[in-house]
Chains A and B, each alone.
Chain A
Amino acid sequence: MLEVSAIWTAQVQQQNYRALLDAISHPGWVKSILHQAGSPASTAVLATLLDAEVSLADPEGLLEAADWPLLQASTAAPEEADYILCMGSKAAQFQPRLGSLPSPEQSATLIICVDSLHEGELKISLEGPGVNGNADCAIAGLHPDWLSQREDWVCGYPLGVDLLLVDDSAVLALPRTTRVEVV
């Protein structure tokens, strides 16, 4: 646990960025996120990635009001946003940006808060770039509809979305290239 406000420092953001880079390079890896006591790890993830150049949608109002000015990001509807903060227990009610064929990066990154990335009722097996063979994960607090919605969003590769699943202290990434099977 860190002092309040440490997630806004350059040093912690560099370390959290590397955790995110590791996570997205190795789908299935659960990487620890340095975060404030009493504040969700998702806020630390946002603090690492966002600034005034990008927009954030928070349809469930998960982010503390005091954190908005620190993030500097503009607000946007989920259909328009660069980043979307979501609640894993509730299926998505929106259609995120998927990018375009010439510019697939102009797509949304979803930060989905779940209960646990270490154990849970949802057992999945991953395959694809970054995964050596396959990787098994167990997640708690992710509504099963997320995975089928994700299927719809990523089926037109290179268009798609990238998911960052975050529990209270760690992150697991599902980039658009990962093939997910429920086991």
Chain B
Amino acid sequence: MSLAQQFGFLDEYAKKEIRRTSLKAVAIPGYQVPYSSREMPMGRGFGTGGLQLTLALIGEGEVLKVIDQGSDDSVNAVNLRAFIEMTCPGVGTTRVTGEADLIQSRHRIPEKPLREDQLLVLQVPYPDPLVVVEASEEKRKQLHGEADYSRLLVKLYEDIVKFDEITISHRYPTRINDHYVIDPSPIPRWDVPKLHMSKALVLLGAGREKKIYAVPPYTKAEPLAFEDKPFRVEAFLDERGRRRACARCGCDSSFLDEYVDSNSGHQVYRCSDADWCDEQLTRRSAPEVING
């Protein structure tokens, strides 16, 4: 008894539903379109929503990049890529952002600006930014329809009163095309501005919560903020207030991962986006910058 293998694992009806849903998602930017979401052979929460989108999107001859935490070598990225390679013969894979037609990612948007002919699929654990203020989905759908985000703004304001800072670190609520506020998936704040007027289409898939939504190209994507408390990305400043640089490639304009060097016991910073880091390294062949 063998697992019947068809291109893209899913049966064609499942793909059609995802395709119809994704077109609606693009037509109503930021709106979470419900779909039935089939079970995949990996855990709910491991990117099944993104994976279903990728399987419905991809065709022979296309080149795919899969990233998790900015790295193509992270266990989950390896696992998803291997599954797609197994079920989609004729699809190429790459680690180079610029070579990919389609990029599936968890938690990061590549540093290298995407092009019009590229497409980004983001894996989403929690699709609805309103869930923190309203537990009932039925009520949330009404609030979204009316673009009523007053309770979310109150929540942000309470943060400021309490901490004098907006404490949301990632999954930053972002308003799309002046109407729907989305959870942009657990990307850091660093990546949120990349959604604004992006040249590439961004599709977001939540498999467990059974929703697909989109940020179309050339569309406004504005993080919620207040005039006196603007939205701020991660700072990466050292003790003297200088921007830290990647210890490997020297780049001082990328999102950094922080490690404790097991030999020296010091904190080390390196680019989170592995391909970006490689590219900077080749371009500059910069000397090791030791973190002070």
Q: Do chains A and B touch in the complex (CB under 8 A)?
A: yes
Interface membership of A169, Cβ < 8 A = no
Which residue of chain B is the closest to A22 with respect to CB atoms? Answer: B201
Q: Is the CB of A102 within 8 A of B12?
A: no
Chain B nearest CB from A100 CB (Å) reads 7
Chain B, 39-92, CB within 8 A of any chain A CB: 56-60
**Is A96 close to B, CB under 8 A?**
no
Q: How far is the CA of A177 from the CA of B217 in the complex (A)?
A: 13
B13 CB contact (under 8 Å) in A14, A53, A100, A157: A53
| Contact A103–B141 (Cβ < 8 Å) | yes
**In the complex the two chains form, is B216's CB within 8 Å of A49's CB?**
no
Cα distance, A60 to B167, chains bound together (Å): 57
Task: Give the tally of cross-chain contacts (CB within 8 A).
Answer: 104
Give the residue among A25, A48, A102, A130 with the most B Cβ atoms within 10 A.
A25
Q: Point out the residues of chain A lying under 8 angstroms from B23, CB to CB.
A: 20-21, 24, 49, 109, 162
- Which residues A38-60 have CB closer than 8 A to chain B? 48-54
- CB contacts (< 8 Å) of B12 on chain A: these are 10, 13
Q: Is the CB of A102 within 8 A of B141?
A: yes
Residues of A within 8 A of B60 (CB): 11
Cα–Cα, bound, A17→B180 (Å): 25
Q: What is the distance, in angstroms, from A48's C-beta to the closest C-beta of chain B?
A: 7
Smallest distance from the beta carbon of A93 to chain B beta carbons, Å?
24
Which among A14, A18, A20 has the greatest number of chain B C-beta atoms within 10 A?
Answer: A14
B243 on the A face (CB < 8 A): no
Is the beta-carbon distance between B31 and A158 smaller than 8 angstroms? yes
**Closest partner residue, chain A, to B212 (CB atom):** A105
Q: When A18-B59, A101-B142, A101-B145 are in contact, do A177 and B27 touch as well, CB less than 8 Å?
A: yes
Q: Given the interface contacts A15-B59, A101-B145, A104-B145, does A10 sit within 8 Å of B7 by beta carbon? A: yes
Name B's A-contacting residues (CB within 8 A).
6-7, 12-13, 15-17, 19-24, 26-29, 31, 33-34, 56-60, 116, 138, 141-142, 144-146, 177, 179-180, 201, 216-220
List 26 A-B residue pairs with CB atoms under 8 Å apart, sorted by A's residue number: A14-B58, A14-B59, A18-B57, A20-B19, A21-B201, A24-B23, A25-B217, A48-B19, A51-B16, A52-B13, A100-B145, A101-B145, A105-B24, A105-B34, A129-B29, A129-B177, A129-B216, A129-B218, A130-B216, A130-B219, A132-B218, A158-B180, A162-B24, A175-B26, A175-B27, A176-B28
